[in-house]
Amino acid sequence: MFTVEFEYDEFVVTIVDDTAKLEDTTVIINDEVVYIRQWNPRRAKYDLINLTPKMFEELQQAMNQPEGAYFIEVTKNV
């Protein structure tokens, strides 16, 4: 299960572990940075990963690729 929320300047996706073995994972996306966070009960705080939007896009694309090294070409609309 997951939820999708639109905040003022960010997009928030919360992914819930249906087995309840792991804590929920939240992905917070804005124009400048993507945060992936998950509550760590042993540390009593969030573990946080920071990515650029391009890095996050590459992560998403990597999920559908076979083993190898890849470059993403960015085309800008003129």
Q: Where are the domains of the chain?
A: 2-52
What are the pLDDT digits (tens) for 16-36?
A: 999 999 999 999 999 999 999
pTM score of the predicted model: 0.81
> What's the confidence (pLDDT) of residue 78?
57
Contact criterion met (CB below 8 Å) for 32 and 50: no
Instruction: Compute how many other C-beta atoms are within 10 angstroms of the C-beta atom of residue 34.
Output: 20
End-to-end CA distance of the chain: 39
Contact criterion met (CB below 8 Å) for 53 and 43: no
> What's the confidence (pLDDT) of residue 53?
92
What are the pLDDT digits (tens) for 35-67?
A: 999 999 999 999 999 999 999 998 988 888 888
Amino acid sitting at position 8: Y
Contact criterion met (CB below 8 Å) for 36 and 54: no
Residue 71: pLDDT band with limits 50, 70, 90: confident
11: pLDDT strictly greater than 80: yes
